[in-house]
Structure 1
Amino acid sequence: MAVTIKDVAKLANVAPSTVSRVIANSPRISEKTKQKVREAMEQLSYHPNFIARSLASQSTQTIGLVMPSATDVVFQNPFFPTVLRGLSEGAHEKQYGLYMTTGKTDEEIYDGVVQMVQGGRVDGVVLLYSKVEDKILTYLQSQDIPFVVIGKPFKNVEEITHVDNDNFRATKEVTEYLIGLGHDHIAFVGGNLNFVVTIERLLGYEKALRDHHIPLNNDYIVHEQFLKEGGQEAVRELLSLSTPPTALVVADDLMALGVLNTLDEMGIVVPEDISIVSFNNVLLSEMSRPPLTSVDINIFDLGYEAAKSLIQMIKNPKEPTKRIIIPYELIKRYTCSHPNIERTVQV
């Protein structure tokens, strides 16, 4: 026979309503009583019926997640499993589940979000990206549903709660790090320009060059997908130039891995012949050969804070709009050195 709230109440010597309040984590219940009830729940192996609770409270206890593109592409990049771990932990702490959109095209993903919202399947939504033009964000703004963006919104920044790094400042600093090593032929390998993170990092790179009176060479700016193949294509294009760069700022570790593999195939040695700084500091940064110098953007924290902020908005509709900036750190490994002025890179 299934264990009920009444069974838990009897063992804990409290009223069934008190058990319900403990399950809902009501502030009206003392920590001592909560502990006693939770111990009874554990002893009886009692698990709350969240479906029944949802019907009663008009709450799904679920957060919707919106990916930037098809999941088969997204999960090739280690950024997303890591940010999902943060979201999962932040949701789990408040007894929320996660509901992920699926779809192979932007249109299918949009339709999935509409069904998710209109069907009342979630209490709020997290966008795991920020685009320049995004009808999903526009749609969410038109609906009476809380949402949080991971990344800086392109428009209406003060009106949208978002969790982000200072990508402009971070890229300016890493470009200046390369300049400090003596490089003045520095290229930028970025992702899709429809993503705000790409624009912010590009602007930081350009600002560093201007501040140090280094001419901006448009041939040194290449945009590809945030995938290993994107890095491979970018580096071949850059090294085919008559004056190839001596250093690269790469917007993503997976792209940087593609860069390293291609350079190895070409017989170009890192960092003796060319230096590389990347972003995200995922596990493959340490495992690459040589280990990548990379900016740790604390991906887990991006997800954790997004879930935490969204649940606060769900519980309190008057929660003020927030801009949460997650700190970053340049992790110096073995892909940067002074430029080798004695050797001209040949393709």
Structure 2
Amino acid sequence: MAVTIKDVARIANVAPSTVSRVIADSPRISEETKQKVKKAMEKLGYHPNQNARNLASQSTQTIGLVMPSSKDVGFQNPFFPTVLQGISEGAHEKNYALHMTTGKSKKEILEAVIQMVQGKRVDGVVLLYSSVEDKVISYLQERDFPFVLIGKPYKDIEEITHVDNDNIRAMKDATEYLIQLGHRQIGFIGGSMELMVTADRLHGYERALIEAGIDLKKEYIIHQEFLREGGQEAVREIMKLRTPPTGLVVADDFMALGVLNTLDELGIRVPEDISIVSFNNVLLAEMAKPPLTSVDINIFELGYQASKNLITMVENSNEPTKRLIISHRLIERLSCSRPNTEKLE
């Protein structure tokens, strides 16, 4: 015979309504009572009927995840598995499931989001990228549907809850690190300018050079995809210059891995001939040869805070808009040194 809420209530010596409130994690119930009810549930082997609860509350208890284009970096760059771990942790704490969607184009992604929202498959959405003039964001705003953006919005920044790093400051710190080592010829390898993260990091790079009195050189700025192949193509182009840089800031560790591979093929030593600072501090940065100096942007925390704050929005429609900035720090390894003065002469 199936165990019911009434059975749990009898063992815990509380009203059935109290058991229901404990299951719903009501703040009106004391922690002592919650523990007493949970022990009774465990003793009886009682498991709440999640589907019935969701149907009654008109909730799916599910978060939608919108990935970048599947033909792009979504399932290749190590950034995404780490940010997904953070999102999953935040969702798990509140017993929410995850529903992931993507597409081969911006149009397909928008259509998938429309189906997810109109089909009432999710209670809210986390966008794992931030691009210029994103129609997905416009659609969610028009529907007044709960969503959180990982990254900085292109517009309406005060109206959109988002979790981000201070990417301008972070790239400025990375560039200034090379300047402090004595580098004056510093190149920038970044991703697509359609992405807000690229625009901000380019801004930080330019600001560091200007404040140090170093001339900006357009030929030192290369944009490619956030992929190893992108780094390979970018560094081949930049090293063909008559006066190649002695230092590089690379906006992504995965790209930096491609940079290292190509420099090795060209017989250019790191850090003896050229220094490299990259971003994200994923595991491959530590495993690279040489290990990469990299800016740790706390990827896991970006995902964790995104899902945690989305669930708060879902459960409280009056929750104010937030801008959460996750801290960063430079991790020094073996890919940087003072410039080779012999090569500069």
Report the counterpart of residue 19 of structure 1 in structure 2: 19
Report the counterpart of residue 326 of structure 2 in structure 1: 326
Report the counterpart of residue 80 of structure 1 in structure 2: 80
Distance 2:137 2:77 in 1: 23
Report the counterpart of residue 203 of structure 1 in structure 2: 203
Structure 1 gap segments, 5+ residues each: none
**Does the 8 Å contact 1:187/1:221 carry over to 2?**
yes
Distance 2:46 2:232 in 1: 53
Amino acid at match of 1:81: P
Q: CA RMSD in A?
A: 1.5
- Cα deviations across residues 21-52 of structure 1 (Å, max 9, x unaligned)? 11110011111111111122223333222211
Amino acid at match of 1:76: Q
**Does the 8 Å contact 1:124/1:310 carry over to 2?**
yes
TM-score, normalised on structure 1? 0.96
Structure 2 counterpart SS, 1:309: helix
- Cα deviations across residues 182-222 of structure 1 (Å, max 9, x unaligned)? 11110100001100000000000011111111111111110
Report the counterpart of residue 95 of structure 1 in structure 2: 95
**Does the 8 Å contact 2:73/2:226 carry over to 1?**
no
Q: What does 1:51-130 align with in structure 2 at a 5 Å threshold?
A: 51-70=51-70, 73-130=73-130
Report the counterpart of residue 178 of structure 2 in structure 1: 178
Distance 2:46 2:253 in 1: 44
Structure 2 gap segments, 5+ residues each: none
Report the counterpart of residue 280 of structure 2 in structure 1: 280
**Does the 8 Å contact 1:71/1:102 carry over to 2?**
no
Give the C-alpha shift of residue 334 in structure 1.
Answer: 0.5
Structure 2 counterpart SS, 1:159: coil
Distance 2:37 2:297 in 1: 40
Give the C-alpha shift of residue 54 in structure 1.
Answer: 1.0
Q: What does 1:151-166 align with in structure 2 at a 5 Å threshold?
A: 151-166=151-166
Give the C-alpha shift of residue 71 in structure 1.
Answer: 7.4
Give the C-alpha shift of residue 332 in structure 1.
Answer: 0.5
Report the counterpart of residue 9 of structure 2 in structure 1: 9
Give the C-alpha shift of residue 2 in structure 1.
Answer: 4.1
Relative distance call for 1:4 and 1:102 in structure 2 (3 A) is farther
**Does the 8 Å contact 1:278/1:295 carry over to 2?**
yes
**Does the 8 Å contact 1:256/1:278 carry over to 2?**
yes
Distance 1:229 1:159 in 2: 37
- Cα deviations across residues 214-257 of structure 1 (Å, max 9, x unaligned)? 11111111011111111111110110111111111000000001
Report the counterpart of residue 150 of structure 1 in structure 2: 150
Distance 1:279 1:249 in 2: 8
Relative distance call for 1:201 and 1:73 in structure 2 (3 A) is closer
Give the C-alpha shift of residue 78 in structure 1.
Answer: 1.0
Structure 2 counterpart SS, 1:100: strand
**Does the 8 Å contact 1:248/1:276 carry over to 2?**
yes
Report the counterpart of residue 140 of structure 2 in structure 1: 140
Matched, 1:191 2:191: yes
Amino acid at match of 1:170: A
Structure 1 counterpart SS, 2:63: strand
Q: What does 1:163-312 align with in structure 2 at a 5 Å threshold?
A: 163-312=163-312
- Cα deviations across residues 247-285 of structure 1 (Å, max 9, x unaligned)? 110000000011111111211110000000000001111
Greater shift, 133-142 or 95-104, is seen at: 95-104
Give the C-alpha shift of residue 14 in structure 1.
Answer: 2.4
Structure 2 counterpart SS, 1:77: coil
Amino acid at match of 1:31: E
**Does the 8 Å contact 1:3/1:44 carry over to 2?**
yes
Amino acid at match of 1:82: T
Amino acid at match of 1:128: L
Report the counterpart of residue 44 of structure 1 in structure 2: 44
